[in-house]
């Protein structure tokens, strides 16, 4: 799992909020639902086996793998911003929607 991706951040926020019985207000696109850890084990003949070594569940027992999490407020990133290497905070439409949802 890429812990720096927006989807991973959303999942971590959701799990933390579940742990303290708080309802988060995620604002972004839906998460893809990667809730497993897999390792490649090389074999001697040049092939490998992909083995699932961990499976994540929320504290409430929800298995998000393959399902993801649906945010409370769905906001897709503006198409022009997806092409930029650096997005200023003031022009990030997802961040602005999140700030608005908190007020």
The answer, yes or no, to whether residue 59 has pLDDT greater than 50, is: yes
Beta strands (DSSP E) in the chain are 27-28, 36-42, 48-55, 73-74
Share of the chain above pLDDT 70, in %: 67
Residue 1 is predicted with a pLDDT of: 45
Q: DSSP readout, 29-42?
A: SPP----EEEEEEE
Give the whole-angstrom CA distance, residue 67 versus residue 24. Answer: 18
The torsion of the CA quartet 16, 93, 71, 5, rounded to 10 degrees, works out to: -50
Q: Is the Cα dihedral 91, 93, 96, 100 positive or negative?
A: positive
Q: Does residue 87 or residue 47 have the better pLDDT?
A: 47
pLDDT of residue 36: 86
Whether pLDDT at 95 is above 50 = yes
């Amino acid at each position: 799992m890429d812990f720096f991706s927006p989807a991973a951040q959303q999942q971590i926020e959701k799990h933390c909020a579940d742990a303290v019985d708080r309802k988060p207000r995620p604002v972004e696109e839906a998460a893809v639902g990667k809730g497993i850890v897999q390792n490649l084990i090389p074999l001697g003949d040049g092939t490998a086996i992909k083995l699932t070594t961990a499976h994540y569940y929320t504290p409430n027992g929800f298995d998000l793998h393959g399902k993801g999490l649906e945010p409370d407020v769905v906001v897709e990133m503006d198409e022009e911003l997806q092409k930029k290497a650096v997005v200023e905070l003031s022009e990030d439409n997802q961040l602005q929607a999140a700030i608005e949802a908190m007020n």
